[in-house]
């Protein structure tokens, strides 16, 4: 099987708890619903791409436990190549505890585990050499970040890099992330992460990142869609808004956006239409609990795209 897209980041098992409101101070709240599901930013993106019919693989590590088995099993169910996922017997699988309120807002707590043990070797670099895209996302601690820097320094230019720093990496600042940012073909952030990373609001921050050497910056804006800046051009691609009662959980929305965007680029859609596919994929995601339950298959996404493709013009 020829693989087109590979992910590299945390492999987490998410424990998601639905509450009426997020607790603060000494408050106590009742958990209304609980769910356990595999997660991790680039892992969610790779999972979504596989549901959309793209051949994918993943770099990462899990523990020798039930959560690790479930992570690998769910990946295999949608056809992801897991041959580069290592099992670390001495550590538990990384976990994230997510609390989601009725408006879809969330608070997340990470418990690092086996994910931090992954180390890139020469065979990984050779295996990656014929892939079209690698999607890099955050993991707790700097162990994986250092491995990602090592990988980026050694891959072929023919493999395009998409970097999703997330809140975990954005707080490190530009200097720490520069080796990846400046070699990435596309950097995907949200507006808060852009402010954290650059100290500037999203439009100015995107322009600043381009001046620093990033090739293309895409900033997700929630209900406003996304903002794209590249080659001294910028554009906002609107999304199709949902009523509040259909929004269940914002977990994984950015990861779903990245999957829709990459799906569009692989299938030769104009950039504006690929971004709309990202918006629509994220729109599906937030209608389900967790990062994966609401994700569409290829037919469902394309049917939705056909309804709304006139929202953006062909480039």
- pLDDT tens digits along 193-224: 999 999 999 999 999 999 999 999 999 998 89
In this structure, of 12-16, 184-188, 196-200, 239-243, the range with the lowest mean pLDDT score is 239-243
User: Is the pLDDT higher at 246 or at 202?
Assistant: 202
Structure tokens at 75: 């990946």
Structure tokens at 175: 């200097």
**% residues pLDDT > 90 (the chain):** 81
Say whether 266 sits in a helix, a strand or coil.
Answer: helix
User: Does the pLDDT at position 311 exceed 80?
Assistant: no
Residue 238, C-beta contacts closer than 8 angstroms, at least 6 positions apart: 224, 225, 279, 311, 312
User: Does the pLDDT at position 140 exceed 90?
Assistant: no
Would you state the pLDDT for residue 106?
A: 81
Would you state the pLDDT for residue 89?
A: 93
Average pLDDT, the chain: 93
Residue 122, C-beta contacts closer than 8 angstroms, at least 6 positions apart: none
Secondary element (H or E) of residue 44:
helix 41-51
Confidence of residue 242 (pLDDT cuts 50, 70, 90): confident
Say whether 36 sits in a helix, a strand or coil.
Answer: strand
Instruction: Please compute the mean of the pLDDT values over residues 179-188 and round it to a whole number.
Output: 96
Structure tokens at 137: 């996302």
- pLDDT tens digits along 269-280: 999 999 999 999
Place of tokens 């994230």: 96
Instruction: Please compute the mean of the pLDDT values over residues 226-248 and round it to a whole number.
Output: 87
Would you state the pLDDT for residue 100?
A: 86
User: Does the pLDDT at position 309 exceed 90?
Assistant: no
Q: Domain 5-11+40-90+117-311 is classified in which CATH homologous superfamily?
A: Ribokinase (3.40.1190.20)
**% residues pLDDT > 70 (the chain):** 98
Confidence of residue 314 (pLDDT cuts 50, 70, 90): low
Residue 10 to residue 171: CA distance in whole angstroms:
17
Backbone angles phi, psi at 274, to 5 degrees: -65, -40
User: Is the pLDDT higher at 23 or at 7?
Assistant: 7
Would you state the pLDDT for residue 313?
A: 64
In this structure, of 37-41, 85-89, 101-105, the range with the lowest mean pLDDT score is 101-105
Residue 117 to residue 255: CA distance in whole angstroms:
23
Q: Domain residues of the chain, as ranges?
A: 5-11+40-90+117-311
User: Does the pLDDT at position 108 exceed 70?
Assistant: yes
Please say whether the beta carbons of 106 and 21 come within 8 A.
no
Residue-wise over 287-304: b if at least 16 C-beta within 10 A, else e?
bebbbbbbbbeeeebbeb
Residue-wise over 188-212: b if at least 16 C-beta within 10 A, else e?
bbbbebbbbbbeeebeebbbbbbee
């Amino acid at each position: 099987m020829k693989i087109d897209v590979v992910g590299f980041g945390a492999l987490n098992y998410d424990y998601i708890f639905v509450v009426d409101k997020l607790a603060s101070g000494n408050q106590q709240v009742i958990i209304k619903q609980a769910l356990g599901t595999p997660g991790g930013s680039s892992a969610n993106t790779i999972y979504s791409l596989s549901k959309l019919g793209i051949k994918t693989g993943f770099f990462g590590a899990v523990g020798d436990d039930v959560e690790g088995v479930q992570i690998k099993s769910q990946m295999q169910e949608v056809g992801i190549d897991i041959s580069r996922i290592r099992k670390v017997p001495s550590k538990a699988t990384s976990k994230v505890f997510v609390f989601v309120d009725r408006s879809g807002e969330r608070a997340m707590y990470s418990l690092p585990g086996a994910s931090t043990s992954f180390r890139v070797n020469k065979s990984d670099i050779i295996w990656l050499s014929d892939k079209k895209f690698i999607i890099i996302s955050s993991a707790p601690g700097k162990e994986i970040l250092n491995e990602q820097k090592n990988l980026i320094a050694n891959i072929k230019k023919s493999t395009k890099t998409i970097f999703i720093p997330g809140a975990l990496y954005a707080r490190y600042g530009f200097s720490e992330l520069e080796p990846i940012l400046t070699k990435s073909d596309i950097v995907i952030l949200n507006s808060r992460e852009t402010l954290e990373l650059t100290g500037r609001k999203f439009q100015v921050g995107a322009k600043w990142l381009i001046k620093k050497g990033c090739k293309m910056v895409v900033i997700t804006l929630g209900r406003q869609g996304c903002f794209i800046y590249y080659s001294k051009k910028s554009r906002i691609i609107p999304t199709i808004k949902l009523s509040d009662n259909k929004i269940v959980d914002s977990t994984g929305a950015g990861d779903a956006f990245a999957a829709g965007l990459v799906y569009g680029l692989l299938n030769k859609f104009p950039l504006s239409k690929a971004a709309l596919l990202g918006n629509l994929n994220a729109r599906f995601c937030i209608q389900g609990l967790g990062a994966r339950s609401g994700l569409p298959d290829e037919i469902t996404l394309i049917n939705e795209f056909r309804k709304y493709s006139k929202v953006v013009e062909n480039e």
